[in-house]
Structure 1
Amino acid sequence: AIGCGKSLRDERLAPFPRTPHAVKVHRQEYYAIVTHMDEQIGRILDALQASAKAERTVIFFSADHGLAVGHHGLMGKQNLFDPSVRVPLVVTGPGVAKGKRIAAPVYLQDIMPTTLDLARAPAPDHVQFRSLMPVLRGERDRSYDAIYGAYRDLQRMVADDGYKMILYPKVPTVLLFNLREDPLEMHNLAEAPASRPILKRLAATLQRLQKEAGDSLDLTKAFPGMM
């Protein structure tokens, strides 16, 4: 599968245990790539301004994934921690409010129905994702009550109401984070007795989202007491 070659496995990207030098090198390279990309984006925007089409052009800026670059001892993208799954999303152009910042979680796939909405074109019936425009216009505060994530058959994630649960069915291991109090995902709450109802609720939500997404991975065998 793309991105899963042995040479790209996270454990091969730097020596164990991770060293400050290895992390600094990865971050230096990452910042260098960002700087180069920023320069090229500037060239595109300059050309757009010179074409006199800027006032009727909507621009979406995003990325397909982030990189851990040292967070949680990881370097790459093959995980469901926020440094890898949260990416920039900037929208500018006619019909989009200036200077507005929205914290509501969305999917990258929402970009397509958003472009159709801005173009006043109907979205095909088979499109599963949602336009961001109702949120951008302030008509609602979010598009989804929960967010689902997956990496092959190795990891599953659900984020809902300020909590995030990550499951590793092959191990099996459960991680639970309170994102409001612990945005860096450093304190696993899964073993705390008070977390049991939260885990049960998130597990039910995850199973619902799996069904909606056509995800056939059975988590009940790995986590029989939770599912």
Structure 2
Amino acid sequence: MYASINDYDALDGILKKFSTNNLNEKLQTFQYNENWWLAQESFQVLSEVGIKKIENNTNLFKSLSDHALYDEVLSTLSSRVNFDKPNKIPIEWSMVGLQAASVSGDIDQINKWLFVSDSCGKAQDIETLINYRFAQALKALFGGDTEKFNEQVNDLYKIIGQSLVPSISSSFSRNSTLMSQLHSIYDVSMISGSRVNDEINQTYEHILRDRLSNVDQGFDSQWKILSMHRVANMALQERMIDWIFQQDV
């Protein structure tokens, strides 16, 4: 029996009929294929019929997130968790959901996944802690609590600064990720700090342009920074609407 690797239904059917460890192991090898869509299909099938469902689903969510498919992360997560029992949701899933919610700029999703994260337990590593604190900062920003937002941002600067280590081969990737997060946080703070009744001035625009030219030119890094610019502008627009409403009153 054969099935096209691009035919999800056929591949899924074969796994359900012949769900042996050996077949699962063979399918797992597709996760490392250079063709991302092929790897993604293996994540998808394993997440539904594999033995290690939590681990396989985590790989699926992270893969979607790594490729900036944040809306799909949130929709897939929502279809597989019970929000009535948030403490039963794996902490790895809650952190992926929280990161996707932050980049989406959807305050309802941010609040939802902050609640889930608080129910699951504390962050276990620096990157997770940064994502959690950044989500808290965005919650304060969208809520108009500038003081709380600035406190969270200053704490993030300290956390990231203390986490950077001398650049050696083993730490280069980690430092690069931390620096990208630092850039995003600074940009969000700068954009949101512009006056409500005015556009970002030329100095800000110049800094933002330089930022994109001086960081990793890969699609993922550029996309994440631009996504955070969008979120900051969304928060700024919320404040502008509130300001206009207050003027009318």
**TM-score when normalising by structure 1:** 0.26
Which is strand-richer, 1 or 2? 1
